[in-house]
Amino acid sequence: MINHIANISSRDNIATQILIIITCLDRFISMHQLYDSRLLTVEAYSHWTKALVEGGWNANFVNLMFNHLPKRQSCFTDPMEDEAERVYRTLLTRVVRSPRKQIGSLPIFWGCPDFPVWKVGKVSRRDEGVNAGRHYNGLLFLPPVSRLECSLSEHFDQNSEQYVGRGRPLQRLHVTPMSFGNMSDYALKAFKRGHIAYDNVLILPRALSELPRREK
């Protein structure tokens, strides 16, 4: 912004100079207001996470990596988001028997797309080359009382054929129990930095009508 103001030609009249300065300042202020709004949103997710953990919910950081995906057209949903929903729906009746009757005990997931941070030795060549390193991060919370008789990570490992492979877009699913902090800021870093919009943050469960009636 300062450089742009400094480059105003001397031949511009005073009124034009003032208009340019006001426009630049307005854009600068708007950008900061938008960033502040995103920070408040991330903070709200952080408070939500803290409340769930204090209420006895089991928190897990989830990372989803994908096989090559075709470029998405603007009129279609994000295939990564679709896969995150599929994983959630598959898990749902392993956690509760009758989702429609146990609304308050449904697992909670929220997450969004993420982009690689290029650090030496931190991103594999394969991951770097597939979907330009784009992946999906989120937090998944299991209720205090659950049908699972093992950890979430163990469940995904023991039932991997239901979640990854077999021609599915999802190539790898990694779960890390949240043992310190709440990782909200990390999970939402792409949103915080303005790389994605508010609508790109996925929150599950959605509407009651989208829930399965009971375990089959």
The residue type found at 201 is V
3-state class (DSSP) for residue 113:
strand
Q: What is the pLDDT of residue 8?
A: 42
3-state class (DSSP) for residue 124:
coil
Q: What is the pLDDT of residue 108?
A: 95
CATH code for the domain in which residue 136 is found: 3.40.1310
The model's pTM is 0.75
Q: What is the pLDDT of residue 3?
A: 47
Q: What is the pLDDT of residue 169?
A: 86
Spatial CA neighbour of 212 closest among 124, 33, 88, 117: 88
Q: What is the pLDDT of residue 16?
A: 60
Token pair listed for 11 = 């031949």
Residue 18 covered by a domain: no
* CA gap 112, 132 in Å, rounded: 16
Residue 6 covered by a domain: no
- For residue 113, what are the domain limits? 58-210
Residue 34 covered by a domain: no
| 205 prior amide bond cis, ω within 30 | yes
Q: Would you give per-residue pLDDT tens digits along the chain (216 residues)?
A: 444 444 444 445 555 655 565 556 555 555 556 778 888 889 999 999 999 999 999 999 999 998 877 665 444 568 889 999 999 999 999 999 988 888 889 999 999 998 876 554 454 555 455 555 788 999 999 999 999 999 999 999 999 999 997 788 888 899 999 877 778 888 999 998 888 888 899 999 987 666 666 555
- How many domains in the chain? 1
Number of helices (H), then strands (E), belonging to the chain: the values are 7, 5
Q: Are 203 and 109 in contact (CB under 8 A)?
A: yes
Residue 25 covered by a domain: no
Residue 17 covered by a domain: no
